[in-house]
Amino acid sequence: MSRKPADPILEERAQQLLKALVQRYIREGQPTGSRTLTRESGLNLSPATVRNIMADLEDAGYLRSPHTSAGRVPTDRGYRFFVDSLLTVNPLREREIEQLRIHFDRGRNPEVLIDSASNLLSWLTQLAGVVTIPRRHMGSVRQLGFLPLSERRVLAILVVNEREVQNRVLHTDRDYSGTELEHISNYLNAEFVGKDIEQIRAALLDAMNNDRKEMTELMSVAIEVARRLFTRPEDEDDDYVMAGETNLMTFAELSNIEKLKQLFEAFNQKREIIHLLDRCLTADGVQIFIGQESGYEVFDGLSLVTSRYQTDDEVLGVLGVIGPTRIPYDRIIPIVDVTAKLLGHALNPQH
Amino acid sequence: MSRKPADPILEERAQQLLKALVQRYIREGQPTGSRTLTRESGLNLSPATVRNIMADLEDAGYLRSPHTSAGRVPTDRGYRFFVDSLLTVNPLREREIEQLRIHFDRGRNPEVLIDSASNLLSWLTQLAGVVTIPRRHMGSVRQLGFLPLSERRVLAILVVNEREVQNRVLHTDRDYSGTELEHISNYLNAEFVGKDIEQIRAALLDAMNNDRKEMTELMSVAIEVARRLFTRPEDEDDDYVMAGETNLMTFAELSNIEKLKQLFEAFNQKREIIHLLDRCLTADGVQIFIGQESGYEVFDGLSLVTSRYQTDDEVLGVLGVIGPTRIPYDRIIPIVDVTAKLLGHALNPQH
DNA sequence: ATTGGCACTCTCTAAGCTAGAGTGCTAACG
DNA sequence: CGTTAGCACTCTAGCTTAGAGAGTGCCAAT
Q: What pLDDT score was predicted for residue B1?
A: 39
Residue A133 is classified by DSSP as P
Alpha helices in B91-177 (DSSP H): 94-101, 110-125
Assigned fold of A12-86: Arc Repressor Mutant, subunit A (1.10.10)
Q: What pLDDT score was predicted for residue B6?
A: 39
Q: What pLDDT score was predicted for residue B133?
A: 93
Task: Look up the CATH architecture of domain A94-134+238-346.
Answer: 2-Layer Sandwich (3.30)
Q: What pLDDT score was predicted for residue A136?
A: 73
Q: What pLDDT score was predicted for residue A296?
A: 94
Q: What pLDDT score was predicted for residue A292?
A: 92
| A166 or B29, higher pLDDT | B29
Residue A5: is its pLDDT beyond 50? no
Task: Look up the CATH architecture of domain A141-230.
Answer: 2-Layer Sandwich (3.30)
Q: In whole angstroms, what is the distance from residue B264 CA to residue B136 CA?
A: 28
- Give the mutation candidate from B106, B123, B149 for the A interface (greatest A CB count, under 10 A): B149
Residues of chain A with CATH 3.30.450.40: 94-134+238-346
Q: In this structure, are residues A338 and A309 in contact, taking their beta carbons and an 8 Å threshold?
A: no
- Which of these, B124, B75, B98, lies nearest to B305 by C-alpha position? B124
Task: Look up the CATH architecture of domain B94-135+238-346.
Answer: 2-Layer Sandwich (3.30)
Q: What pLDDT score was predicted for residue B99?
A: 94
The answer to whether B155 contacts chain A (CB < 8 Å) is yes
DSSP H or E stretch at residue B337: helix B329-346
* Ranges under pLDDT 50 in chain B: 1-7, 351
Average pLDDT value for chain A:
89
Residues near chain D strand, CB within 7 A: A 2-3, 44-49, 52, 67-70; B 31-36, 47-48, 51, 54-55, 58, 65, 68-72
Residues of chain A with CATH 1.10.10.10: 12-86
Q: In whole angstroms, what is the distance from residue A303 CA to residue A288 CA?
A: 7
Nearest to B257 among A109, A145, A255 (CB): A255
The pLDDT tens digits for B207-246 are: 877 766 667 788 888 888 888 888 876 666 789 999 999 9
The answer to whether A250 contacts chain B (CB < 8 Å) is yes
- Which of these, A63, A56, A58, A64, lies nearest to A82 by C-alpha position? A63
- Which of these, B80, B79, B92, lies nearest to B125 by C-alpha position? B92
Q: Which residues pair with B286 in a beta bridge?
A: B307
Residues of chain B with CATH 3.30.390: 141-230
Confidence class of residue A232 from pLDDT cuts 50, 70 and 90?
Answer: confident
CB contact under 8 A, B246 and A257: no
Residue A246: is its pLDDT beyond 70? yes
Q: Could you give the strand order of the β-sheet that contains A315-324, starting from the edge strand earlier in sequence?
A: A240-243, A128-132, A315-324, A302-310, A286-290
Q: In this structure, are residues A168 and A229 in contact, taking their beta carbons and an 8 Å threshold?
A: yes
- Which of these, A101, A130, A103, lies nearest to A245 by C-alpha position? A130
Q: In whole angstroms, what is the distance from residue A76 CA to residue A289 CA?
A: 9
Cα dihedral A90, A96, A97, A103 sign: negative
First to last CA, chain A: 60
Confidence class of residue A152 from pLDDT cuts 50, 70 and 90?
Answer: confident
Q: What pLDDT score was predicted for residue B9?
A: 61
Residue A274: is its pLDDT beyond 70? yes
The pLDDT tens digits for A117-139 are: 999 999 999 999 999 998 777 77
Averaged pLDDT for residues A196-221 = 80
- Which of these, A157, A11, A2, A156, lies nearest to A85 by C-alpha position? A11
Residue A16: is its pLDDT beyond 90? yes
Using an 8 Å CB-CB cutoff, list chain A residues near B169: 109, 163, 165
Using an 8 Å CB-CB cutoff, list chain A residues near B149: 142, 159, 162-163
